[in-house]
Amino acid sequence: MLGRMASSPTTDAPSAGARGQGWDFSDVTHSDATLRRFLHGLPGVDQVGADARAAALGTRSIKTTAKAFAIDLAIRMVDLTTLEGADTAGKVRALASKAMRPDPSDPTCPATAAVCVYPDMVATARQTLGTSGVHVAAVATAFPSGRAALDIKLADTRDAVEAGADEIDMVIDRGAFLSGRYLQVFEEIVAVREACGGAHLKVIFETGELQTYDNVRRASWLAMMAGGHFIKTSTGKVQPAATLPVTMIMLEAVRDFREATGRMVGVKPAGGIRSSKDAIKYLVVVNEVAGNDWLDPDWFRFGASTLLNDLLMQRTKMRTGRYSGPDYFTLD
Amino acid sequence: MNAAPSARIDVRKTYKLYIGGAFPRSESGHSYAVHDTKGAFVANAALASRKDARDAVTAARKAFPGWSGRTAYNRAQILYRVAEVMEDRRPQFLEAVRQSEGLSAARAEKAVDEAIDRLVWYAGWADKITQVVGNANPVAGPFFNLSTAEPTGVVAVLAPQTSSLLGLIHVVAPAVVTGNTAVVVSSYERPLPAVTFAEVLATSDVPGGVVNILTGSAATIGPWLASHMDVNGIDLTGIAGDTDLATALEVAAADNLKRVRRPPTAEPDWTLDPGTGPMTAFLETKTVWHPIGV
């Protein structure tokens, strides 16, 4: 069941999602009241301080070899995404081909981490990607609103896993979270985690709807305690989507969680990251806040579509010494 | 003028670039002193870097679909409006041209008149150039075969070094009147008329990004624009006389088959009728076949 996780030694299966390796959360998660006490007992986020720190880290100058490294790493971290009502099998096949060989003119260009599609497109993506090593991620659980009954969400998840998805991106019930029904959110994540079987679970908070940074921190802990392998900022359907401070707070949460439990959780900002410059800012924040261990496609991802072309353009600029243009890369 | 101690302190100006309809400082933070022909300090101008050129190309690319999609008639109206606003700013242009080129008041006036008139002349060409260079071609079949002129895309323009206003209009107007968007590198030693022209563009109806004006060295920025894969054409008028640089830029421009308007051996007499050549340098011909009848 945990085949895919074997590559990550610090990851361990929390039984029924309620237990980390070094810390038993069952006393926290057995009732709404205890869960609320725990989440509201987390230290508050200094909003002004968080914004300022994220902005300060964003001013780091990353040049030459470090920039080349960062661009290649960012390409390897991209979850190349298409989540449109107008998606066709042809588009998904094209996207999957691009994920395997982002720059066909340059064999040294690495592949992206994954292709992210709706569940009904998983089989198509799987077929194209084959054994290339590029994963198939599927958004499930009534994405993007999450407004469906639990059994429908679970069926959605199982359907995607059966079709060959390696990773499931679920959305939390923001309505329940904001009205304080934390246990409901928690149990839903646990249930989806079980439905995932061997697939990795990414938990989407839709931070643009969570109102405060405190809520982002609480949601992060909630999802980590419930056994999510990744915490993800946004669906990309709501503005604001991923921002640097929100990602920073989530990175602090995964860092603290590993300190407390020994279990490592990944982070995926998604939506609104369009330029290489932005991507490099995120990598700086990952390195400074969570640490070197997270600078790996297994632990940090970008949910993006247009970002990849900009990364490729920058890569080409560094290789050839002249500015490139969008005419030389695929439209997607 | 009263006694010296009460004299007003000069406001020493540092002008900025014009990119995407905004006036940013150079990304490099550099500026350089601009002097009049007698060597007296006039103002500081921003020294554009390659990254400013990159940003300007991005802005020009973004503006291209909108600008080229406008009707030719509308582009004519907008360029005519630019001429109107220039007319309003005559004193400022006169002063700038006089300082930059060391002309007498009368000759400066003539240069500004010529520049505004030339802009009006080019504005008139917007909806006529297609009729001159387009055609209904005779073909052996039941088809209409129509050739029409279309803009090339983003054009980099190295503006003349000597004629700071009239020469500038002579290279910028023909590029944009046909629907191209332009990244212009002004005269290095005489940038102030171009700066004032940027202010005119910003306050007339020209959409941001259609004309972007960089003050700085053509020799520094030129190679980056010439090799830029997202630039579709380059006008090398501004490096007239420098054959080595011109060759280097033409070689760099060959990589993505840019249209190149080669530099003259020396700056031409800008008071002469330029003909349609400057416009057709950055036009593509699209030919469509359309069946006649049912």
What radius of gyration, in Å, describes the C-alpha atoms of chain A? Answer: 19
Mean pLDDT of A36-41: 95
Chain A residues near residue B255 by CB distance under 8 angstroms = 322
CB contact, 8 Å: A184 with chain B? no
| CA closest to B252 among chain A residues | A322
CATH for B160: 3.40.605.10
Kindly name the residue from A156, A232, A278, A298 that is annotated as catalytic: A232
Taking only the tens place, the pLDDT of each residue in A253-301 is: 999 999 999 999 999 999 999 999 999 999 999 999 999 999 999 999 9
In terms of Cβ atoms closer than 10 Å to its own Cβ (0-12, 13-18, 19+), residue A200 is buried
Domain presence at residue B273? yes
Any A CB within 8 A of B258 CB = no
Count of structural domains within chain B: 1
Q: How is residue B107 written in tokens? A: 């000759």
Q: Which CATH class is domain A32-320?
A: alpha beta
Q: Under an 8 A CB cutoff, do A323 and B255 touch?
A: no
Query: Structure pTM?
Result: 0.89
A232 is catalytic: yes
Ramachandran category for residue B168: left, alpha or beta (phi over 0 → left; psi -120 to 50 → alpha)? alpha
Residue B52 lies in a domain: yes
Quick check: is A91 catalytic? no
Dihedrals phi, psi of A267, to nearest 5 degrees: -130, 140
Contact between B45 and B32 (Cβ < 8 Å): yes
Residue B190, in any domain of the structure: yes
Cβ contacts of A326 on chain B, cutoff 8 Å? 61, 230
Q: What is the 3-state secondary structure (H, E, C) of chain A?
A: CCHHHCCCCCCCCCHHHCECCCCECHHHHCCHHHHHHHHHHCCCCCHHHHHHHHHHHCCCCCCHHHHHHHHHHHHHHEEEECCCCCCCHHHHHHHHHHHHCCCCCCCCCCCCCEEEECHHHHHHHHHHHCCCCCEEEEECCCCCCCCCCHHHHHHHHHHHHHCCCCEEEEECCHHHHHCCCHHHHHHHHHHHHHHHCCCEEEEECCHHHCCCHHHHHHHHHHHHHCCCCEEECCCCCCCCCCCHHHHHHHHHHHHHHHHHHCCCCEEECECCCCCHHHHHHHHHHHHHHHCHHHCCCCCECEEECHHHHHHHHHHHHHHHCCCCCHHHCCCC
For residue B3, tell me if it sits in a domain. no
Range of the domain at B144: 42-291
Interface test with B, best of A276, A320, A323 (most B CBs within 10 A): A323
B21 band by pLDDT with thresholds 50, 70 and 90: very high
Confidence at A10, pLDDT banded by 50, 70, 90: very low
Asked, for residue B156, whether it belongs to a domain, the answer is yes
> How many Å lie between the alpha carbon of A330 and the closest alpha carbon of chain B?
14
Burial of B121 per CB tally in 10 Å (0-12, 13-18, 19+): middle
> Which of the residues B54, B230, B255 would you substitute to probe the A interface, choosing the one with the greatest number of A C-beta atoms within 10 Å?
B230
Q: For residue B35, tell me if it sits in a domain.
A: no
Q: Which of B61, B224, B229 sits opposite A324 (nearest CB)?
A: B229
Q: If you average pLDDT over every residue of chain A, what do you get? A: 92
In a domain, B200, yes or no: yes
Phi and psi for A25 in degrees, rounded to 5? -95, 5
Q: Which strands, in side-by-side order, build the sheet including B181-185?
A: B211-214, B181-185, B154-158, B233-235, B259-261
Predicted pLDDT at A24: 81
Contacts of B4 (CB under 8 A, 6+ apart): none
A324 HSE (CA, 13 A, CB side): 18
Calculate what percentage of chain B has a pLDDT beyond 70: 98
The predicted-structure confidence for A45-75, as pLDDT tens digits, reads as follows 999 999 999 999 999 999 999 999 999 999 9
What dihedral angle (degrees, nearest 10) is formed by the CA atoms of A206, A208, A209, A211? 130
Q: Can you give the pLDDT at residue A148?
A: 94
The answer to whether position B13 is within a domain reads no
Looking at the complex, does the CB of residue B282 fall below 8 Å from at least one CB of chain A? no
